[in-house]
């Protein structure tokens, strides 16, 4: 009974952190400076893309963690996906190098970090013209390595077009939930979870 209570408490804490007013998700971006990892925070006035460094082997592509999210989604819809993502998060931080986590930082602390990392940037909400979330295209499915869950394509008047690669189902689930709440009809969600194959498919 105590174990079950602890699991429920941990799940509730995780859900509170990821359904708050500042959700975040991890992406890869290749834009003139090679392929790098970013954590995208839905801030008060815009999306802060905090640079987390160049990608290393094994980053953001843990198959077992991804399967945990898929199983959770099939079992309980959106709530199951959140719980599955909590499991995946624990799995990811339990092996390999410890992932930097910034969820508990204040907005001022995050902006200070971003100022120290020149490749970080902000997409202001009032300058974002559209965001689309899509599955990999034909060429990506045919010639890719199978690690790409989907793409988030941001269009902003100052930044232009920014393509964000997502390699983790938990991160895509957070993006699908949070971006439409921030930007309404400017966000097009063109993918959904197929319960038969446990993969994201074209919507």
**pTM of the predicted protein model:** 0.70
Q: Which CATH code, of 3.40.190.10, 2.40.50.100, 2.30.29.30, 3.40.1390.30, is assigned to 2-202?
A: 2.30.29.30
- Domain map (residue ranges) of the chain: 2-202
Output the pLDDT for position 3.
42
Question: Tell me: the pLDDT tens digits for 124-158?
Answer: 999 999 999 999 986 656 555 778 999 999 999 99
pLDDT at 170 exceeding the cut of 50: yes
- pLDDT grade for 76, boundaries at 50, 70 and 90: low
Averaged pLDDT for residues 109-114? 92
Output the pLDDT for position 15.
41
- pLDDT grade for 99, boundaries at 50, 70 and 90: low
- Report strand pairing: 187-189 vs 128-134: parallel
Output the pLDDT for position 12.
45
- pLDDT grade for 71, boundaries at 50, 70 and 90: low
Number of CB atoms found within 10 A of residue 122's CB: 19
Q: Rounded to an integer, what distance in angstroms lies between the CA atom of residue 8 and that of residue 21?
A: 22
The C-alpha angle 123, 101, 163, rounded to 5 degrees, equals 35
Distant-in-sequence, close-in-space partners of 170: CB < 8 Å, separation ≥ 6: 65, 66, 69, 81, 84, 85, 88, 89
Q: Rounded to an integer, what distance in angstroms lies between the CA atom of residue 167 and that of residue 61?
A: 6
């Amino acid at each position: 009974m105590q174990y079950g209570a602890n699991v429920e408490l941990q799940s509730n804490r995780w859900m509170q952190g990821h359904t708050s007013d500042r959700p975040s998700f991890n992406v890869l971006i290749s834009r003139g400076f090679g392929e790098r990892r970013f954590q995208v925070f839905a801030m008060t006035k815009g999306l802060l893309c905090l640079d987390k460094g160049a990608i290393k082997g094994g980053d953001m592509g843990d198959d077992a963690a991804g399967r945990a999210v898929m199983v959770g989604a099939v079992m309980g819809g959106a709530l199951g996906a959140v719980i599955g993502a909590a499991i995946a998060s624990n799995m990811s931080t339990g092996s390999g190098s410890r992932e930097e986590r910034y969820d508990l930082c204040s907005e001022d602390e995050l902006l200070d970090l971003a100022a120290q990392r020149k490749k970080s940037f902000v997409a202001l909400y009032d300058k974002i013209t559209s965001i689309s979330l899509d599955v990999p295209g034909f060429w990506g499915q045919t010639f890719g390595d199978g690690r790409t869950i989907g793409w988030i394509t941001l269009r902003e008047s100052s930044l232009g077009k920014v393509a964000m690669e997502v390699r983790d189902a938990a991160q895509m689930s957070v993006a699908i939930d949070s971006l439409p709440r921030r930007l309404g009809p400017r966000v097009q969600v063109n993918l959904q979870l197929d319960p038969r194959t446990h993969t994201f498919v074209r919507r």
